[in-house]
Structure 1
Amino acid sequence: MSDPRVIDILLVEDNVTDVVLTREVFAEASVPNEVHVARDGVEALSFLRREGSYEESPTPDVILLDINMPRMSGLEFLATLKNDPQLRHIPVIMLTTSAAERDVERSYELHANAYITKPVDFGAFSIMMHTFEAFWLSIARLPSVSAKPAI
């Protein structure tokens, strides 16, 4: 049985094209969702900590995280997030063009929940994101809103 609530997804991505493609795929999702975007790790932390213009932001159910970004890389963000007792419960899926073994290993060392290498082709990207949706938004059980620590 699927959860009728809206799933909040935080996409941490600096590539505008990837943001547009991801939003398009999730707009077609069978699970109600809202995609929030942060352009780098600094902005993502502001979103999660409800700082500045993010005062009303929701705690996301899942984070999709790119590695190569300005100001704060995805790996730096991941390390900060997983060291924060109020945020570390949020599942983080690395979604990046990097297929480098060192990035995969480092992501899991920092407690990423999954590592996905983005396909370059839109058709393959769409299939991959629908598979993500099927597993992470329909099959996997995400922390409930009431189980999330107050931020």
Structure 2
Amino acid sequence: MENTKLHLLLADDDIDDCDFFKDAIDEISGVCELTILNNGVELMKFLVNDPDSQPNVIFLDLNMPKKSGMECIAEIKASNVLSHIPIIIYSTSLDHTVVNDLYELGAHHYIQKPAEFGSIKSVIKKVVALFGTTTIQPRSRDNFIIQP
């Protein structure tokens, strides 16, 4: 993506987590543009109603009000218009049964929300390295979970 910023979208209802994520993006400086939405209904409206602003990558929390992350990923991957957008699950829990279900639904990666700010920056940098080019790497169970 030469000369353009990577457009990341974070869908998360936890305001503190959103603030830490935004601060991490700001410190990565100039590499990314960030859109933050606070529930699954807002996410789906944004994706459907504003096709010119589609993100390059979606960071998706699982436990959100109104519409869960699980419901959102199922809708996104079922859509011919949206299914190409890589989804990174960004959640507090790390239940391996849920992780396997998310892989089967089509998520590209899973990140357990880091507790430390430096680790948040680290995982975001890894995602930027993975998706900051014009060639998206194929999904793989071997590297599905991204660690700081």
Bigger mean CA deviation after superposition, 127-136 or 10-19: 127-136
In the other structure, the counterpart of 2:26 is 27
Q: CA RMSD in A?
A: 1.9
TM-score (norm 1): 0.81
How many correspondences in the alignment?
Answer: 136
CA contact (8 A) 1:61 1:91 kept: yes
Contact 2:6–2:128 (CA<8 Å) still a contact in 1? no
Q: Which runs of 5+ in 2 are unaligned?
A: 137-148
Overall identity of the aligned pairs, in %: 32
Moved over 6 A (4+): none
Q: Secondary structure at the match of 1:35?
A: strand
Give 3-state SS (helix, strand or coil) of 1:49's partner. helix
The separation in 2 between residues aligned to 1:56 and 1:116, in whole angstroms, is 26
SS in structure 2 of the partner of residue 115 of structure 1:
strand
1:141 to 129, 135, 138: 135
**How much has 1:31 moved relative to structure 2?**
5.2
Matched residue, 1:6: 5
Instruction: Name which of 93, 99, 112 aligns with 2:94.
Output: 99
Matching residue of 1:114: 109
Give the TM-score normalised by structure 2. Answer: 0.82
Structure 1: segments with no counterpart, 5+ residues: 143-151
